[in-house]
């Protein structure tokens, strides 16, 4: 079994995979030894991978070292089972590359557009020739709500709404609908433009806030909130196997 540790901008997420199948997952703001011990006591984990976008990897690796046979830190130098066309791979977020590997694993030989709803909204492309082609980054849903509150004198902190009315008649409605619609129109625009350029484009929504937009986007999409986990598990297996590395 494999332990996956994904340290994101907001949460630290853990998952246990058994031969490619997700069998357990947890999340916390920081990794507590008791939480790690609970998973390792419950599942016969042999190897682990740690990916981080905010630091803390060394602390987690130190905790894991005595408990697993093999522990891999996912860095920009780690071999992955897809080609990477990004011009600055050292600055590419580990979560973005892991999601790309996950997409290539689940949809081999397909052109896949990955929309990841996190602290940042990222939209990335993996082409059918198994290559990460890059993408775009903009503020995520909660970041947009927070910025309107933090960088103005009087605007309230609002939250997601399922209401699809276009106009708000109170300030709270105007903010909630404005943020939700701005994300919806942005994503729909990217999908439409990409489908003009690329045939047979598969679109995947992932990330914590994907559930807020699955019904809003008027396109054929699939939701997979465990795409990064799937990619990290594949990367771990790739580095532990005899497969030829790039």
Note whether 28 and 12 are within 8 A (CB). Answer: yes
Give the position of tokens 């996950």. 102
What DSSP state is assigned to residue 212? G
3-state secondary structure of 48: strand
From residue 204, how far is each of 22, 103, 111 by CA, in Å?
Answer: 18, 8, 11
Contacts of 77 (CB under 8 A, 6+ apart): none
Catalytic residues, by residue number, are 95
Q: In what order do the strands lie in the sheet with 70-73?
A: 21-28, 12-18, 2-7, 47-52, 70-73
From residue 77, how far is each of 66, 72, 134 by CA, in Å?
Answer: 24, 12, 17
Query: 19, 17, 24, 22: which is closest to 2 by C-alpha?
Result: 17
Element (H, E) at 121: strand 120-127
Note whether 84 and 102 are within 8 A (CB). Answer: no
What number of other Cβ atoms are within 10 A of residue 196's Cβ?
8
Query: 56, 52, 143: which is closest to 98 by C-alpha?
Result: 52
């Amino acid at each position: 079994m494999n332990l996956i540790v994904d340290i994101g901008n907001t949460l630290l997420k853990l998952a246990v995979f058994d031969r490619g199948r997700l069998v357990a997952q947890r999340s916390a703001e920081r990794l507590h030894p008791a939480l790690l011990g609970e998973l390792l006591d419950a599942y016969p984990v042999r190897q682990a991978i740690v990916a981080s976008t905010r630091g803390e990897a060394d602390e987690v690796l130190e905790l894991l070292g005595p408990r697993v046979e093999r522990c891999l830190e996912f860095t920009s130098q780690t071999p992955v089972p897809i080609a990477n066309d990004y011009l600055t791979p050292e600055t590419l977020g580990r979560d973005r590359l892991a999601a790309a590997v996950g997409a290539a694993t689940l949809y081999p030989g397909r052109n896949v557009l990955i929309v990841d709803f996190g602290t940042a909204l990222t939209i990335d492309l993996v082409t059918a020739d198994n290559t990460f082609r890059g993408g775009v980054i903009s503020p995520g849903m909660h970041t947009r709500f927070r910025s309107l509150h933090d960088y103005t004198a009087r605007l309230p902190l609002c939250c997601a709404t399922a209401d699809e009315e276009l106009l708000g008649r109170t300030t709270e409605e105007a903010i909630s609908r404005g943020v939700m619609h701005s994300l919806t129109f942005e994503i729909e625009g990217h999908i439409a433009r990409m489908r003009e350029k690329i045939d047979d484009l598969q679109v995947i929504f992932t990330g914590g806030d994907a559930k807020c937009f699955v019904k809003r986007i008027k396109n054929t999409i699939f939701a997979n909130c465990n795409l990064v986990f799937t990619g990290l598990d594949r990367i771990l297996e790739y580095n532990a196997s005899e497969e030829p590395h790039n």
